[in-house]
Structure 1
Amino acid sequence: MLSQGGKEVFIKSVLQAIPTFAMSCFLLPNSLCKKMEGIFANFWWQKGKGGKGIHWFQLSHLCRPKNEGGLGFRNMAQFNTALLAKQGCRFLENPNSLVAKVFKAKYFPKSDFLNSQLGNRTSYAWRSIWAARGILEKGMIWKVGTGSNDNKVVELINCQVREWKREVVEYTFGADEADKSFASL
């Protein structure tokens, strides 16, 4: 007998939180994710104990962010993929962690996570994390410079005379590094 606000909090803080650990390790079938979302929708629309209620909107509308008119419920399949991609990101950011060392030794000893192969007879956890690798690749970018500045290549080149803006490059990378870069060109 919760209000709509109480149901929203319950769905977000309890029902959607329960499978989070499993979803961060294993790729759940889409059918299971849809079934969980159906349970959330039935709970959201029900009137009274055991009542069915009318589903006035599709669940996809409820999963939209609040600023787009939705309620901010999670799309469970997308959330599952995001959690698995986060595990892959941890392999890249913390290569000396125990879990990264174990997976590297077993599944990609001669390369890094992004260049790894799926292989044969692999664990379900590895197949799940590896399946999210494409999402991780799409979200990655190359940064020009030392990482301390957010310059874009277009800001480093004078397009009219087709030359480097020497003062910007020297300021961004330091005079010594800029001289090395100019010498190699």
Structure 2
Amino acid sequence: MVFRELLDRMWKKLRGWKEKLLSRAGKEVLIKAVIQALPTYLMGVYEIPTAIIKEIHSVMARFWWGGKGVEKKMHWQVWRLLHYKNSLLSRVMNAKYYPHGDIFQARLGYSNSYSWSSIWSAKSLVKEGLIWKVGDGKSINLWHDPWLSDEDGRFVLSNRVAGLKLVGDLIDNDRKEWKTDVIENLFEERDQKCILAIPLSSRCLQDELTWATLKMGPIR
């Protein structure tokens, strides 16, 4: 009941704004400053269920993407292809258009399919709002993927280091903690702070693409 009231409050707050009149930067500021302030107290008292977190993701994503009709459907289609990889649609698209990667690595190609062209065109906007939540770090490219979070953005700013490719290369798998000595020796101060501020789970969790403006902390 408490969490349902939280979702209702968030939705009412968003409905008070005309999302189509705001720029992307304006939407991001509104989500961060107004919406994310709502669950702060609850997070300090309760462990928010995964199902509720997914609903909050959904509310924020609807506001971010906005739009109506085909445009909105295509944004959601990209999201579903990312998160429901075992679905029939995802398996078909994967086999036909990006058999060796994911949808963000796919090329438009010479397909005359209107559906694929629309999905491909929508992926750039979806990509702007995503960030990796670190699990074991084995799916995240350390240098090219968005996985850090501060006012300077979501990407590592330090110069590339030979021998380091994945975020998992910075994690001590036995202790389930960051390799502090490697990070402090090879990365700029800003990157050090961002990396070491990311909590690691004692369980072997997989990396997960999530919504960049939503920071709910670790889920046990």
TM-score, normalised by the number of residues in structure 2: 0.35
TM-score, normalised by the number of residues in structure 1: 0.41
Structure label with greater radius of gyration: 1
Higher helix proportion (structure 1 or 2): 1
